[in-house]
Structure formats: C-alpha cells, structure tokens
Amino acid sequence: MLEHRVMPILTIKNNGLYRTVKYRKPKYIGDPINAVKIFNDKEVDELILLDISEDRKWDNEKVKYYREISEEAFMPLCFGGRISRIDHAKRIFDSGFEKVSLNSSAVENPQLISEIANHYGVQSVVVSIDININIFGSARVYTDLGRKRTHLRAIDFAKQAESMGAGELLVTSIQNDGCMCGYNLETIKQVSESVKIPVIANGGAGSFEDLLDGIKKGKAHSVAAGSYFVLNGPHRAVLISCLSSTEVMKITEI
C-alpha cells in the first residue's frame, strides 16, 4: 500500500496564481513559479496544477510556460486544464509532468481515459470529479469549471472512470471549494468505498484536522488542498505554507 500523500493544488489563470471560492470570483494571489519554488524547499509529496483560464487554445506559448513551471519543480507534477485529445496529454508529458488530470473531457469522451492510460500507463491518468449536492442529497458531477451540471451520479462516474483506466480520482466539492470548512466527507467516503483505485479528497480543507478527517473519515487515500496552503488567517492573507515534519508523519502513519 502506498503511503498517504498530501498535495497542494495551484490554480493558475493567464499565467497567474489564483484562488476561488465555490469556483467563483478568481482572486490573483501571486506567481505560480515562486509558489513552486517554495514548495520545493518544503519537500511536498506532489503538486497539482489546474489551469482555469477561459482561453481554450493550445499554443506554443502556453506549453512553454507549463515547461517553465515543471523545470522548477523537484516533485511529481500533475496538470489539468483543457486536455481533450491525446496529443494534448503528450505535450504535457513532454513538458515534464508525470500525470494529467481529465475533467470535462472524461465526461464528454470517456474513451480518452483509456487512450492515455493505454499509451502512458494508468498511473499517469487522474480523473477529476467536481461534485455538487442536489436538493435530494445526491452528489452530481459538474463539468466546465463547475458551470455545467450533468446527469451523472458521482459514484457511477467514479466506477466508469476506473473501468476506463483511470489510475486515481480527484474528488472536489464545488460547494466547499475555498471555504476552508472541511471536506464533503460523506461523498468522499462513498466514492472511496465504491472503487479500488486511490481517491484524493479535495475542496474545503482549512486545518490539519480536516486533512486527517479526509483519510480517516472520508476513507480517501490522499488529500489535496488549495487555499489551506496559500492563504492564512481570517483576512486570507497570502502565505505559502506546508505541513510540519510531525504532521507529515501523522498522515503517513494512518
């Protein structure tokens, strides 16, 4: 069994580092490359970069910038954003990333999961599942940066993604995103218990206890967070931080 991991998430937009609340009102907080350098020094397990830029074009300048980020990173990197074809994934892997995260494209074209997994290995494919809870208490899958509701139940889509070749699932609560109020533990647990591949809890972590709960109560294999690692205090001041060695030990020993 692999050790539990703790992964900061860097949300980038137009080459800047941003944070959102419930996927809305992106707020600029700094330079992604500087953040990567700080996380290098703190020796984090893995970094997840999610590009939420409205521009959906794949051009050489974009890819060049992704390469610049990867060249500064001394830890494994996962990239998500606008990957809708296998050649997009190839350009990301060629830029130095170890994994790609598929979101909207995994719903619209599930076969893409298999294509990338068959070519690069299942360990290289993360399917990102953005969820909201409807009025009936059911976790439904959303795409297009949380703007498009689908008919898919989170558990059903998790099973489908696993069957198509996903190596991991990143499950994010849109309603909890940026609120630092804790994970949606019930949904995380339901998804974790419905598949055999690792599930990464995301969306809502605001304390070390939340991270622990994601693994203990949510049954997630690993935990991720955005705001918790880049914002601090009631005024949400920008402060890049990470876990202490003692906290890391507590996570890995669960």
d(CA 184, CA 204): 8
As a whole number of angstroms, the distance between CA 218 and CA 239 comes to 27
The residues that are catalytic are 130
Question: If phi over 0 gives left and psi between -120 and 50 gives alpha, with beta otherwise, what is residue 130?
Answer: beta
- Quick check: 176 and 54 in contact, CB under 8 A? no
Phi, psi of 42 (to 5 degrees): -90, 0
Which amino acid appears at position 89 of this protein? A
Report the distance separating Cα 76 and Cα 17, nearest Å: 19
